[in-house]
Amino acid sequence: MSEPLNVDDFEAAARERLEPGPYAYYAGGAGDEHTLRANSAAFTRWELRPRVLVDVSDVSTETTVLGTHVELPLLVAPTAFHRLAHPEGELATARAAAAAGTVMCLSTLSSVSPAELAAAAPGAPQWFQLYCSRDRGFTKELVGAVGDAGFRALVVTVDVPVAGRRERDLRTEYALPDDLPAPNLPVVLARKDFHAALSAIVDSTLTWRDLEWLRSISPLPLVVKGVLTAEDALLAAEHGAAGIVVSNHGGRQLDGVPAALDVLPEVAEAVGERVEVLVDGGIRRGTDVLKALALGARAALAGRAVLWGLAAGGEEGVVQVLTLLRDEIASGLMLLGCARPDDVTRTHVRPAGPSV
Give the tens place of pLDDT for each residue, 268-325: 999 999 999 999 999 999 999 999 999 999 999 999 999 999 999 999 999 999 999 9
Q: What is the mean pLDDT of residues 79-103?
A: 97
Output the CA–CA distances (angstroms, integers) from residue 25 to 30, 107, 165, in the order listed: 11, 15, 12
Residue 356 in this model has a pLDDT that exceeds 60: no
Measured in whole angstroms, how far is the alpha carbon of residue 270 from the centre of its chain?
22
Cβ 224 vs Cβ 244: under 8 Å: yes
Q: What's the one-letter identity of residue 168?
A: R
Boundaries of every domain in the chain: 7-346
Q: What is the mean pLDDT of residues 144-158?
A: 98
Give the tens place of pLDDT for each residue, 90-101: 999 999 999 999
Q: What is the CATH number of domain 7-346?
A: 3.20.20.70
Q: What is the 3-state secondary structure (H, E, C) of 51-92?
A: CCCCCCCCCCCCEEECCEEECCCEEECCCCCHHHCCCCHHHH
**Active-site position among 34, 86, 195, 249:** 249
Give the tens place of pLDDT for each residue, 222-258: 999 999 999 999 999 999 999 999 999 999 999 999 9
Express as a percent the part of the chain with pLDDT over 70.
99
Read off φ and ψ for residue 352, nearest 5 degrees. Answer: -65, 150
pTM to 2 decimals?
Answer: 0.96
Q: Check residue 108 and give left, alpha or beta (phi > 0: left; psi -120 to 50: alpha).
A: alpha
Characterize 3-13 residue by residue with b for buried, 16 or more Cβ atoms within 10 angstroms of its Cβ, and e for exposed: ebebbebbbeb
SS3 of residue 111 by DSSP: coil
Residue 198: which pLDDT band, with cuts at 50, 70 and 90?
confident
348 is catalytic: no
Characterize 78-113 residue by residue with b for buried, 16 or more Cβ atoms within 10 angstroms of its Cβ, and e for exposed: bbbbbbbbbebbbbbbbbbbbbbbbbbbbbbbbbbb
> What does the alpha-carbon distance between residue 306 and residue 320 come to, in Å, rounded to a whole number?
9
Residue 36 in this model has a pLDDT that exceeds 60: yes
SS3 of residue 152 by DSSP: coil
